[in-house]
């Protein structure tokens, strides 16, 4: 790859999302950085308000030339004083890069992937159609930005957006949910958060029900999505069994790194 001038250019993005491209002189995009608010619907303690998720990718032929560092500097200047979180594959260049730039390790996950072409759609439909007496399914589609709880999302009208939510209610109360949202860097992949089932309603296969409903719903609202990635912070045999039952396969481990910018 010939050395030449590379500009870091701010790209127009969705509201609340910032993006930068590293552009080479003939106009090729050698790397991309993005910042967006952290999805607050994961199980576990919520991140402090204002935390941003960093995504950073440099094309392999352009690596180790300082482009990743320049993209990070552009994103950092935009987000002064904020906390950034980044997820990198264990043992990867991203891990060395994060350590080099002062990020500290705050957790790790196991990742699973479900590919839609492996799913038997009639079987999925049967799972969704199973009656759960006293419970009813609800769905919501839209942009989750600004919402801090699933209840808040369900009060909003559905509209086009990159998030899909499937939930179960009993007597008007939310008892289980699972949410998926497009993966900013890979449009054909969505990221799933949950399912989560309230303690008093466990053992009734509601997690499987809402998850199957979500998979079916995404097919209808976002037919371009071909695969769904999800992660789990610690070994949870019930979640793992549910995911294997639906056809999720292990994908690898990732490390979460964080930095609070000066």
Ligand X SMILES: CC(C)(COP(=O)(O)OP(=O)(O)OC[C@H]1O[C@@H](n2cnc3c(N)ncnc32)[C@H](O)[C@@H]1OP(=O)(O)O)[C@@H](O)C(=O)NCCC(=O)NCCS
Site of interaction with ligand X (CB under 6 A) = 54, 56-58, 63-69, 86, 88, 92-94, 96-98, 100
Q: How far apart are CA 215 and CA 178, in angstroms?
A: 10
Task: Give yes or no for a contact between 259 and 103, defined as CB atoms under 8 angstroms apart.
Answer: yes
Nearest to 238 by CA among 168, 176, 148, 167: 176
Report, in Å, the least distance between residue 54 CB and ligand X.
6
Under DSSP, is residue 153 helix (H, G, I), strand (E, B) or coil? helix
Report, in Å, the least distance between residue 63 CB and ligand X.
3
What is the bridge-based pairing of β-strands 52-58 and 83-89?
parallel
Neighbours of 246 (CB within 10 A): 21
Q: How far apart are CA 113 and CA 144, in angstroms?
A: 22
Nearer residue to ligand X within complex by CB, 95 or 162: 95
In the numeric block, which tokens belong to residue 22?
Answer: 């590293």
Q: Which residue is nearest to ligand X (CB)?
A: 94
Nearer residue to ligand X within complex by CB, 96 or 148: 96
Q: Give the neighbor-by-neighbor strand order of the sheet with 83-89.
A: 6-11, 18-24, 29-37, 52-58, 83-89, 249-260, 104-115, 227-232, 186-197, 173-183, 163-170, 136-142
Nearer residue to ligand X within complex by CB, 103 or 140: 103
Rg (CA), the chain: 20
Report, in Å, the least distance between residue 102 CB and ligand X.
11
Report, in Å, the least distance between residue 3 CB and ligand X.
13
Report, in Å, the least distance between residue 70 CB and ligand X.
7
């Amino acid at each position: 790859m010939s050395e030449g001038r590379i500009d870091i250019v701010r790209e127009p993005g969705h509201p609340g999302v910032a993006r930068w491209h590293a552009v080479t002189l003939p106009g090729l995009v050698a790397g991309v950085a993005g910042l967006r608010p952290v999805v607050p619907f994961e199980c576990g303690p919520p991140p402090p308000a204002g935390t941003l998720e960093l995504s950073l990718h440099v094309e392999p032929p352009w690596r180790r030339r300082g482009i990743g560092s320049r993209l990070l500097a552009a994103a950092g200047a935009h987000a002064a004083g904020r906390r950034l979180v980044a997820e990198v594959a264990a043992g990867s260049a991203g891990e060395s890069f994060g350590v080099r730039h002062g990020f500290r390790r705050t957790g790790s996950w196991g990742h699973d992937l479900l590919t839609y072409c492996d799913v038997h759609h009639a079987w999925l439909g049967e799972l969704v159609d199973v009656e759960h007496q006293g419970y009813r399914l609800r769905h919501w589609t839209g942009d989750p930005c600004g919402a801090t709880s699933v209840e808040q999302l369900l009060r909003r009208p559905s509209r086009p957006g990159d998030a899909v939510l499937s939930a179960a209610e009993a007597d008007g109360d939310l008892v289980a949910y699972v949410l998926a949202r497009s993966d900013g860097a890979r449009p054909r992949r969505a990221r799933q958060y949950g399912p989560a089932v309230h303690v008093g309603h466990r053992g009734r296969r509601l997690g499987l029900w809402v998850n199957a409903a979500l998979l079916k719903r995404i097919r209808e609202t976002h037919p371009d999505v071909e695969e769904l990635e999800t992660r789990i912070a610690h070994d949870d045999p019930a979640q793992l069994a549910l995911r294997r039952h639906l056809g999720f396969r292990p994908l690898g481990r990732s490390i979460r790194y964080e930095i609070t910018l000066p």
